[in-house]
């Protein structure tokens, strides 16, 4: 008899699973130049923990430009094409412990895995494919669906629950690298696992409310926390 799925494990992408070494930021700048004619180094934008929808709105505000749903949709059609180019010329780093943890979760009949990322879906898939991680994720929520991290985290959890037929009160975890991830986990009632492979330290993530904070996902404490 197949063991029932009992828990959901959600992963952020950038800074948590991998590092694309500014390829995403460069793609944003190229897409802005194509759509708006702006030359913008985006030095005023903090991408870590943000959603692409929030980012494009803040950029438009910075340039005193209206940002309608039609403008957002057009930009998100342009962005993946540029990310394909910048990603092809960029080295991708998959962080320690990521591949082995995903393999263990795939083998664990009691765990359902999902994505919660600030990337729009097309860009998320480009990054995962180049890193060789695309086969690990089928469901999730993405940065074009809501501007705030709490809303996309809630949506991702709902989708994983529905996909895996999990009860509403199932155990659920969010693995991320920013205080925004830990805040979203706390608001929704998930156990936040903070990983200091992005721009924030273990201490930063603990202060943000992480249930567990580690240097990277090779730490045995992560497996223990997930019951693997």
Classified as helix, coil or strand, 204 is helix
Torsion angles phi and psi, residue 95, rounded to 5:
-70, 155
Length of the chain: 228
pLDDT band at 5 (very low <50, low <70, confident <90, very high): confident
Sign of CA dihedral 142, 81, 35, 38: positive
Asked if 189 and 101 sit in the same domain, the reply is yes
Residues 43 and 132 in one domain: no
DSSP state of 63: T
Which of 63, 88, 113 delimits the end of a domain?
A: 88
Q: How many CB atoms lie within 10 A of CB 162?
A: 10
Q: Which of 192, 183, 186, 184 is nearest to 214 (CA)?
A: 192
Strand-pair category, 212-214 with 93-94: unpaired
| Lookup: tokens for 113 | 């895995």
**Boundary-marking domain end, from 88, 115, 134:** 88
Looking at the structure, do residues 68 and 163 belong to the same domain, yes or no? no
Average confidence score pLDDT of the chain: 96
- The count of other CB atoms within 10 Å of the CB of residue 63 is 12
pLDDT at 200: 98
pLDDT band per the 50, 70, 90 thresholds, residue 4:
confident
Give percent above pLDDT 70 in the chain. 99
Q: Considering 88, 109, 137, which residue would you say is the last residue of a domain?
A: 88
Q: Rounded to whole angstroms, how far apart are CA atoms 215 and 45?
A: 25
Task: List Cβ neighbours of 227 (8 Å cut-off, separation of 6 or more).
Answer: 7, 110
CATH number at 150 reads: 3.40.50.1000
User: Per-residue pLDDT tens for 120-132?
Assistant: 999 999 999 999 9
Report pTM.
0.95
pLDDT, tens digit, 9 for 90 and up, residues 172-225 = 999 999 999 999 999 999 999 999 999 999 999 999 999 999 999 999 999 999
Domain count, the chain: 2
pLDDT at 1: 41
The mean pLDDT of 91-105, rounded to a whole number, is: 97
Print the domain residue range for 12: 7-19+93-226
pLDDT in tens, 17-47: 999 999 999 999 999 999 999 999 999 999 9
Contact present, 141 and 130 (Cβ < 8 Å): no
Q: Say if strands 18-19 and 93-94 run parallel, antiparallel, or are unpaired.
A: antiparallel
Q: Which residues, other chains included, contact 203 with Cβ-Cβ below 8 Å and sequence gap of 6+? A: 213
**What value does the mean pLDDT take over residues 157-177?**
96
CA distances from 119 to 7, 35, 64, 106, 211 (A): 24, 19, 24, 23, 25
């Amino acid at each position: 008899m197949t063991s029932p799925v009992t828990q959901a494990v959600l992963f952020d992408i950038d800074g948590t699973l991998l590092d694309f070494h500014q390829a995403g930021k460069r793609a944003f700048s190229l897409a802005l130049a194509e759509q708006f004619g702006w030359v913008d180094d985006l030095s005023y934008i903090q991408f870590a923990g943000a959603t692409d929808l929030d980012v494009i709105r803040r950029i438009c505000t910075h340039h005193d430009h209206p940002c309608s749903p039609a403008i957002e949709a057009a930009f998100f059609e342009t962005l993946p094409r540029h990310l394909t180019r910048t990603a092809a010329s960029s080295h991708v780093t998959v962080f320690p412990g990521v591949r082995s943890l995903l393999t263990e979760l795939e083998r664990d009949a009691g765990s359902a895995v999902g994505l919660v990322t600030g990337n729009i879906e097309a860009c998320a898939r480009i990054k995962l494919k180049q890193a060789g991680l695309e086969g690990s994720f089928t469901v999730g929520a993405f940065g074009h669906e809501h501007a705030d991290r709490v809303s996309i985290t809630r949506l991702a959890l709902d989708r994983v629950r529905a996909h895996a037929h999990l009860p509403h009160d199932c155990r659920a975890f969010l693995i991320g690298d920013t205080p925004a991830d830990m805040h979203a986990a706390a608001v929704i009632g998930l156990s936040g696992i903070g990983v200091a492979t992005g721009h924030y330290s273990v201490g930063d993530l603990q202060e943000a409310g992480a249930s567990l904070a580690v240097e990277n996902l090779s730490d045995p404490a992560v497996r223990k926390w997930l019951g693997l």
